[in-house]
Structures are given as C-alpha cells and as structure tokens.
Amino acid sequence: MMDRSFKNGDRVQLTDSKGKLYSLTLNPGSEWHTHKGVLKHDDLIGLPEGSIVATSGELKFQAFRPLLADYVLSMPRGATIVYPKDAAMIIGIADIKPGIRVLEAGVGSGALSISILRAVGESGHLHSVEIREDFAKISQENVQNYFGNLPKNWVLTVGALQEQKLDNDYDRVVLDMLSPWECVETAAQALVPGGVLISYVATTTQLSKIAEAIKENGNFTEPESSETIVRGWHHEGLAVRPQHRIIGHTGFLIFTRRVASGVPVLQRRRRPSKGSYGVIE
C-alpha cells in the first residue's frame, strides 16, 4: 500500500473548528504561528491524512492534502481565476480527456491550465498562450508548485494568439480573454474537424459578440451557451434548507464544434425574436 503520510515538501491544508482553511508547505524545523500558540511542522510530518493536530495553545486543526479546488482558491493570483465550478464544466462540456491536444489562450493565473493538464494526462498535450508576461510568470509558478515540477507536455508561450505559428491538429481550443471573437478564425485554423471551441466570457455583451463571430466564420456549428450557478445546502438534523450564500454568476460558457472544411453549416430552423438584430429600416 502506498504511504500516504505527510512528508517534507508536502502542501497541507488545515481546517479549524469553524471551517476556516489555512495552508502551509511542510519544512522540517519550521513553525507556523497562530493567535493561540505555535504548530511545529515536525508534528505533522509522518502523520496520515485526516489527523488532528494542535498548537502549543491547544488550537486544533484537521490536516489534509488540499484538493484541486482548495489549491486554486488559495494560490497567488495575477488575473481573476476560472473558478472550480466553471473549470469543471469546461472539462466536461468540451470533453477534455487523456491523450488529446488542447490549445488554451488567456492563461491568467493558471487555474484552468492545471485542470486541463490533469485531464489530458501524460499522453496529452497543452499549449497555453498568454499575452501578458507577468501573468505568464505567475501561472508558471502556480502550475509548477501544484505538480512539483513543470509538466513535460505543457508549452507556455507569451504573446497574442493570432501571432502564433500553430499546428492544425488541436482537438480543443479554450479561450479565456477579453476579446475572444478576434481569435475565432485562428481557432478554426488550429482545430481538426470535429474539434471543440469553448470560450469563457464574463458579460452578455462579450457573449453576443463571440456568438455572432462564430456564426459569421462559417466553420462552426450553431454555438450553445450556458452559465453555472452553485447553491449549497445547510443540514442539521431535520433542519434542511438552502444556504443563504450561493456561488452565482461568474461567467458564461459558449460551445461549438469545427465542421469539415468546405462543408456548409447546417442552419438551425429557428425564428429570431423581434428586435434581436436591431431595427430594420
């Protein structure tokens, strides 16, 4: 059986009795100071996950290795991260799986890059493009800290996506940027027939612009859009009710697939709402 006890260099998540989370990286001889005493790293090394540890002032914590969502929400940020609920939807809707090739533009702090790298596995490949060098540096550090090293199947390029010399054998293109409609043609050239283009945008204006750009491009199926809202529940005996706080709107996802070159897009038989495209003179 694999030894799952805490070791030197492990990232550890500590949860107190109020559910508040703390994280630290174990280093022999080091100490973590709280308002109620000191916790020695050596007291954690060698313990199994789920153990309870206490500071010198008897402040108790339950110790686990952090899950992906925990790591993402606590890691250093440059740009706003793609939240775990949206990253999970992107992986699921775009069918990102082991062995495929993914092109990602707009890396931000690297949260989505980590999810994609986990999904494609060692047999897959991720090429990430980030226009800002400072964001690229932060994302590289976050990815390296999560995996313990830089994955060999990950390429990070600084620059605009439209300026890159890309292969045309990507299975998925993921866009997370301010103006994704500017990259629809680049995505069409990079994707194989049947490949998926999925974009994450924050506003309805962005959603409208990329939807129209996809339709006008002529190489993609009718785009589909959604948003994900998560509501937790409180349960204490028979008192079961929705929590007052929900994780509401963070962004929209728009999804489409690359059709074969030279093949017309099958038009949806749907009458647009009155006024959808402005006033007709």
* pLDDT of res. 263: 87
* pLDDT of res. 270: 64
* pLDDT of res. 94: 97
Instruction: Consult the annotation and say whether 10 binds a ligand.
Output: no
Residue of 90, 137, 144, 94 lying closest to 114 (CA atoms): 144
Residue 2: pLDDT over 90: no
Instruction: Consult the annotation and say whether 104 binds a ligand.
Output: no
Work out the pLDDT band at 152, boundaries 50, 70, 90: very high
What would the mean pLDDT of 26-51 be, rounded to a whole number? 94
Instruction: Consult the annotation and say whether 176 binds a ligand.
Output: yes
* pLDDT of res. 274: 64
Q: What is the pLDDT of residues 165-221, one digit of tens each?
A: 999 999 999 999 999 999 999 999 999 999 999 999 999 999 999 999 999 999 999
Residue 64: pLDDT over 90: yes
Instruction: Consult the annotation and say whether 179 binds a ligand.
Output: no
Work out the pLDDT band at 31, boundaries 50, 70, 90: very high
What domains are there in the chain, each with its CATH number?
A: 11-66 (3.10.330.20), 70-257 (3.40.50.150)
